[in-house]
Structure 1
Amino acid sequence: MAARLTRLHHIALNVSNADKVSSDLVFKFKFRLFAARLIDGAKQLAFRKGAAVFIVNEAPSRSSGVRMNENLHITDSQPRDPPLVHVGKHSHGKCLYDFSAHYPVDTVNNVCFEVEDVERSCTALRQLGCDFMVPPTTVHDDCGYVTYSVVKSIVGNVLHTLIDRTKYRGSFLPGFDGVGNDLSVPETDTSCPITHFDHITYVCPKNTTHQVMRWYEKLFGFQRFFIDSDENVDEGFVINQEGIGLRLTAMEYWKCSKAGITLPSVDKNEPDCKFVIAESLSEQGRNQVDTFLEQHGAPGIQHIGLYTNNIVSTAHAMADAGVQFFSPPQAYYTQVGKRQEIEEAGHNPQMLAKHGILLDLSREPSSPPASSENRGYLLQVFTKPIFAEDTFFLELIERRGAKGFGEGNIRALWRSVQAHMEKQEGDSQGEESHKTVQTSQY
């Protein structure tokens, strides 16, 4: 590997209306605004829930002429001494820790990793032909120094900020002002016990998964992670029947894959995050992966899994706040064996059905057979899209001894999303034919 990643620091959203997205994150998804950078030409807002941190960047308009960090964009591959930038409260610099020209739709465009040494990592990445949007740059304020660089990934508009904040003693990053309570104060909201990002899912064009996997393995040391015990090493996890055409392949960047996902411990502040690549198998006809590629205009991040210790409580609190979830047909909860599985896991089928929560017993690769009483299980539910387009959404996930992703859940989630999009398409066609305006679902 060229760059040694230590942890996922934050995920950035690039949107046209930061106030709208910020309001949803706070009031619907129960995140807390804890830091902000509001200056001419840039609005950056940071939100936290457990170890999960989103930065919302308001995208500059086409007419403003403002581009994030455009003065730092380089095209040559020669190492340079990192420029030193002071970012005080009255600094008029552009958007920090990111790079993004105007994008036609709202998008999740940056996954930021902490690294051991930004300059050394960038030197190694340059030698592998990696494209840099922002060269190594050091910013500082009264609390210390942070060095970062922005790398272009192989997936559409996805960027990776590499950051070293070991010499910074502030609560977040230079240039941001704290908002509300200090980060050392525990969160009081126990109704939504979200602890961290569980996984990030990319949507990519057909037959590009292996190229993406090789890029992340070569540059960042990612390793293959098997989603299900039936997964084919070369083909990935394929569901190509009953109207579903989907290929999923997963990778991870941490070095303790044998231990599975663990929650924060004394010697490890945050667990690491899996990356999943989704491809459409077009033989089954147009589907949600194709819709993403069309409406997003390029490969990119389709959804992010938020880990919760109590998915029932979390989904209930979010639904009360206005979050809409995809729901499978009611028959899912009454099919042969499913009700028994749910009850044996200690859950009420009616309670799960209320918010469309799915439960699947795990079938971990290389694990011995186990009865339903002692096997791990997985609980999942998808929100409906949070942007205007059918592109990005969030997932709630709770793991009880399951490290992968349940096949039954994948099938049910796929069908529920597909049914929603087909209804949306039908409504849109109805509007055109009858010249009527119908109320949007979200």
Structure 2
Amino acid sequence: MASIRLKFRPSTAHGKEGTLVFQLIHGRSVRRITGKYKIFAEEWDGRAGRILLPSPSSPRYAFLVSLKDELQWELDRLRRMVEEREKTTGTVSLDEITAAFSPDTDTPDSVFNFIRSRIRHKRQLGKVRSAETYRSMLNSLMRFRKGADLTFGMVDGGLMELYEAWMQGCGLTRNTTSFYMRILRTNYKLAVEKELTPDRHPFRHVYCGMDKTVKRSIPFSDIKKINDLDLSRKPSLDFARNMFMFSFCTRGMSFVDMAYLKKTDLDGGCLTYRRKKTGQLLTVEWTWQMQAIIDKYKPNATRYLLPIITREDGSERRQYQNMMRKTNRLLKDIARLAGLPLPLSMYYTRHSWATIARGRAVPLAVISEALGHDSETTTQIYLDSIKSSEVDKANSMILEGL
């Protein structure tokens, strides 16, 4: 197997950017592919062979994060090319691979590079989550294409149908394939707008809608069972339960919003925050239940209210994502301890709060305001989907007696 590494070639001029080089070694042969990727010497970790990220406040941060992702894509593509040639021919010709591999292509209508530029733009705007979804879609498209780039002129209805079929063959749900298709369609429309391609309407015969999903909720009695569990000897489970209960007490606050709550957001007996998903400003009255959860943990040295992000070193988003995965995994164990036959996750808090509020005759307008919905129509759809799942559950119970 060929060895593939990224190397840094410093500039001969002091203070100038150096060049990143792809190095391939197979047997005693060595080939180097030079691209347009340039960084400063202090931005390179020679021992680890990777880019060093500065603090998020640095003006170079967004650029370097995007560049790091792009370089990883290119390295993965290069490895796939080597694997494909080994599989089909049984040998590896570094000259052939070097000739075929073309990083940082400047083709104006390169689909891969166009989407990468949109990812960089979103990161610069601070839209990290949106950039991540674009990156996921591009990774999927690149796997479908086996790393081979394409122009917008090659994007037609037939190709999109093949891409959809490929995703379905990978086991993706209809909503997931549609999600990727909608992102790709957005980029395609922008390319049309920039006159990079005429509109060939390639998405006419693929699914770009949204199927209704079952909204998961549990009754108040189950919420109480979770709250009353004695987890004093199991600190990890206790933490997961506390985060679940904090979310429920704050009307189903999402885990990402909880992670980024600042100590300054709590003032005058009210917790005020802006939803990451919609940007909407919400205010929640601070209650003794919320304070009891906060009191379980020592004040941390960060600006954040909850002990989810514990270090401010540029890894905040990774800390939040890791903790969310861990919490959702532990909530499955908590459900078993509470005798609940369901895959409990943080997703349940928001729908449970809405369902319980509806069951206690809370006006629709109040529930809508609490959930941060733009209109009561959205809330009605939200509650109708919950109601539908309850009816299906009741029907299943009835049919069990047949």
* Larger relative contact order (CA 8 Å, sep ≥ 6): 1
Query: Counting helix residues as a fraction of each chain, which structure ranks higher?
Result: 2
TM-score, structure 1 normalization: 0.22
TM-score, structure 2 normalization: 0.24
